[in-house]
Amino acid sequence: MKSYKGDHSIHLVGQAWQIRIMLKQWQQQWGSETRVMDIISKNTINKRESGTQN
């Protein structure tokens, strides 16, 4: 399974059972009420913050 994270998107490539496992892991990590858009936004904010520290 492969996953690609862009600034405004996430692409998961694999079989359905692999994608379900990945989504369940994200749900455990981020909480059951978190939407995928929230995860993308959080990753974008983290990239901006780490870029300003250099």
pLDDT digits (tens, 9 = 90+) for 1-54: 888 877 778 888 999 999 899 888 888 888 888 888 887 777 656 555 665 554
Q: In whole angstroms, how far apart are CA 52 and each of 3, 8, 35, 49?
A: 26, 19, 27, 5
pLDDT of residue 50: 61
Count how many domains the chain has. Answer: 1
pLDDT of residue 27: 85
Is 30 exposed, middle or buried (CB count within 10 Å of its CB: 0-12, 13-18, 19+)?
middle
Please give the residue range of the domain that contains residue 20. 2-52
pLDDT digits (tens, 9 = 90+) for 31-46: 888 888 887 777 656 5
